[in-house]
Chains A and B, each alone.
Chain A
């Protein structure tokens, strides 16, 4: 099977000279086509930076990133992104916001209208399609943002802590909505989060990223059958897996402290 995304010893340094700061030391991993991978790590480990590099929004200092078999140098239409912020345009309705990428790509809006409506229906926003962002709740806005990322039918969906600004209950809802969408479209997803439970609930594979050196330290397969729901979160196996991941993050942190002292 061909990898959809493949990173090879990716390094990122911000700034130059004495002010240089190494955000990522050497990240190596790949994501298969149709796979849902969560990138888990403590804050400041460079996971968001890595995601932005894969999106083509940050330059790569060293190493290579391949997406769909070709080198990633600039943003592409076949990569959809969901940011932590919904980043909706306040003067556009939910539907207009979803269609915004289509408009900007110079494609025919009417050709995508059906798809936009379907996406909004799948995220349960049927009644809100003509509402503007300020009339929507935080969770609803992020659902619009999710639809917008999917409108142009990208092959890859990159998500940068998309639900971390939401309250716990809304966050659970969003996880279920995302799982439903994934079941429907089976996109390749790379999802950055710092919530262990969220990662285990959503992913086929969880990558744990450490800090200094910032690299992938663990790669664990999540064995649970799909489609999944919250019931899976109550099984012993789920909690065991979370505990394993928590230990991995803990080990990464202690070794980091050991090297520092």
Chain B
């Protein structure tokens, strides 16, 4: 037994090592390189800020930002919650809104002709310029921020879903007509099930816009949220706190984007189409 085992060990080690190397080689381009680059940039930033005698108000070193994250953890968390909640609310409403509008426009040619050019035209307006008006219309509370955020985030979902619903091929539509399917049946049984890949790509764009909408709303009028805290910190020249808030915003954005990606993977596996 022992004799048999003894020569086996080095070869096992050999395999492990080559396996480790191949993982390193594989992950080099995907993980190691971008992370190393970012880390190098942070180190350079730290060095310039500290040894260049730059005022922390202009450019606080990353370590100071990190310190703010730790010291003001509860304060930042307190303001992260409403921002995240309102973003989720806005995103959660723009998904069904965008999908339903797209469904309506593909279902009815009349609705398409009446609405689509107007919706596109509306999107050409610099929407951020409209943000103060939402405060006038809906006050300084959650409703105005969420409505503004929906206003800017439903569009990509609408456009992507419309494209998805219209991606059904002519021959497929001929088959549907030969089966004497109603427009409603074609929409619900063929067009919509064909659309998830499109809808998800629209959702990925929309989720980042939803956060922008909420933060802009918080800049304009709010007593809470990360947008408010950034404005507050900036006004007191606490650049390190403002940057800490921005870092948290990035994390929130990444997390939401990740959730959409994960949901997409689950749905696509369930559909098993691609």
Contact = CB atoms under 8 A, between A and B. Distances in A.
Contacts of A85: 169, 171-172
Given A104-B185, A132-B272, A134-B273, A91 B193 contact: yes
Given A84-B171, A87-B169, A87-B172, A57 B177 contact: yes
A52 B173 CA distance: 13
A52 B274 CA distance: 31
Contacts of B250: none
A169 interface: no
Interface in A57-77: 57, 74-77
Interface in A112-147: 132, 134
A34 interface: no
A163 to B, nearest CB: 15
A215 to B, nearest CB: 24
B181 interface: yes
Nearest to A93: B272
Contacts of B171: 83-85, 87
A79 interface: yes
Contacts, number: 54
Interface residues of B, number: 20
A91 B179 contact: no
B11 interface: no
Contacts of A150: none
Interface string B235-274: 0000000000000000000000000000000000001111
B180 A75 contact: yes
A87 B175 contact: yes
Given A91-B273, A104-B185, A134-B273, A81 B178 contact: yes
B189 interface: yes
Contacts of B272: 91, 132, 134
A84 B185 CA distance: 23
Contact of A105 (B175, B176, B179, B190): B179
Contacts of A90: 194, 271, 273
B149 to A, nearest CB: 32
A79 B193 contact: no
A88 B194 CA distance: 11
A55 interface: yes
Contacts of A84: 171
Interface string B176-220: 111111000100011001100000000000000000000000000
Interface in B131-190: 169, 171-172, 174-181, 185, 189-190
A103 B273 CA distance: 21
B184 to A, nearest CB: 11
Nearest to A102: B179
A254 B169 CA distance: 37
Interface residues of A, number: 24
A5 to B, nearest CB: 15
A65 B272 CA distance: 42
Contacts of A251: none
A89 B193 contact: yes
Most central of B175, B176, B272 by chain A CB within 10 Å: B175
B179 A104 contact: yes
A25 to B, nearest CB: 24
B169 A101 contact: no
A132 B178 CA distance: 23
Given A84-B171, A89-B193, A101 B273 contact: no
Contact of A91 (B172, B177, B181, B271): B271
A100 B193 CA distance: 14
Interface in A175-220: none
A122 to B, nearest CB: 21
A132 B185 CA distance: 22
Contacts of B274: 134
A84 B273 CA distance: 21
A90 B181 CA distance: 18
Nearest to A81: B178
A252 B189 CA distance: 45
A134 B271 CA distance: 12
Contact of B179 (A52, A75, A83): A75
Contacts of B172: 85, 87
B273 A77 contact: no
A79 B274 CA distance: 32
Nearest to A75: B178
A90 to B, nearest CB: 4
A-B interface, 6 closest residue pairs, ranked by CB to CB distance from nearest: A90-B273, A75-B178, A85-B171, A91-B271, A87-B175, A104-B179
10 contacts: A52-B174, A75-B178, A76-B180, A81-B174, A83-B175, A85-B171, A89-B193, A91-B193, A104-B179, A134-B274
